[in-house]
């Protein structure tokens, strides 16, 4: 029995050695394809999404290790579970059950006809219209992947001041499935 196993392993190694270059190329190509797919999925909203402006709410951003970046919050970023439409009554108040649950925020145009705002927050996917798809976090926070933005070194304070003055808007790219990406920040 052990002799058969040794012979089988030897045959497998011989086959692999004869095709070493081809196996190496296929492995490298597979790794490259995985990396390109990860980049492509992250860039999908930027390439295919509808552009929308939303107003940014003030937050105190401090992180010495991440460089210049701005923490962003929106009017729809913090909603208690009791105010989320379509969330089962038995889940309300039980944090462990609603964390990481998928939620949706249908967007409607603001009175200025330039910005967009949340119509409501719901656990049910909207049938029509633009919406954001996110996750419920701790303590009533909602995450959409658009909560921080890295800026050119030395410009972070300018954006922080614009947030405090309520003169900063985030330009979002939103796909029809609700995936969002930050395109840019605009100071009014």
Residues 104 and 120: beta-carbon distance below 8 Å: no
pLDDT band, residue 165 (cuts 50/70/90): confident
Rounded CA gap, 42 and 170, in Å?
Answer: 18
User: Lowest-confidence range among 13-17, 126-130, 184-188?
Assistant: 13-17
Average pLDDT estimate for 35-64:
76
Identify each DSSP E strand in the chain by its residue range.
Answer: 50-55, 69-71, 102-109, 115-118, 131-136, 142-143, 148-150, 168-174, 180-187
Q: For position 116, what pLDDT does the model report?
A: 92
Indicate whether 141 pLDDT > 60: yes
Nearest to 101 by CA among 116, 120, 86: 86
Evaluate if residue 65 carries a pLDDT over 60. no
Is the predicted pLDDT of residue 153 greater than 80, yes or no? no
State phi, psi for 62 to the nearest 5 degrees: -145, 120
Closest alpha carbon to 173 in 188, 187, 184 = 184
Q: Sorting pLDDT into bands at 50, 70 and 90, what band is 89?
A: low
Among 53, 52, 54, 49, CA closest to 175: 49
pLDDT at 107: 94
Which residue ranges make up each domain of the chain? 2-43, 49-187
Question: Residues 60-68: what's their mean pLDDT?
Answer: 56
Question: Burial level of 71, CB count in 10 A (0-12/13-18/19+)?
Answer: middle
So what's the pLDDT on residue 109? 92
Contact between 98 and 80 under an 8 Å Cβ cutoff? The reply is: no
Q: What is the pLDDT of residues 100-121, one digit of tens each?
A: 889 999 999 999 989 999 999 9
User: What is the rounded CA–CA span in Å between residue 145 and residue 57?
Assistant: 16
**pLDDT of 178 higher than 90:** yes
């Amino acid at each position: 029995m052990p002799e058969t196993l040794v012979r089988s392993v030897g045959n497998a190694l011989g086959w692999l050695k004869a095709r070493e270059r081809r196996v190496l190329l296929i492995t490298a190509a597979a790794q490259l394809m995985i990396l390109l797919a990860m980049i492509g999925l992250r860039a999908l909203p930027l390439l295919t999404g509808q552009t929308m402006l939303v107003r940014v709410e003030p937050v105190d951003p401090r992180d010495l290790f991440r460089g210049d970046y701005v923490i962003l919050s929106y009017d729809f970023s913090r909603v208690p579970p009791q105010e989320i439409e379509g969330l089962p009554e038995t889940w309300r108040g039980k944090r462990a059950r609603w964390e990481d649950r998928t939620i949706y925020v249908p967007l409607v145009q603001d009175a200025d006809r330039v910005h967009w705002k949340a119509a409501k927050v719901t656990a049910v996917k909207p049938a029509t219209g633009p919406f954001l798809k996110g996750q419920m976090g701790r303590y009533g926070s909602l995450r959409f992947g658009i909560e921080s933005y890295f800026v050119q070194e030395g410009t972070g304070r300018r954006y922080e001041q614009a947030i405090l003055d309520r003169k900063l808007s985030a330009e979002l790219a939103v796909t029809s499935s609700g995936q969002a990406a930050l395109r840019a920040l605009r100071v009014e």
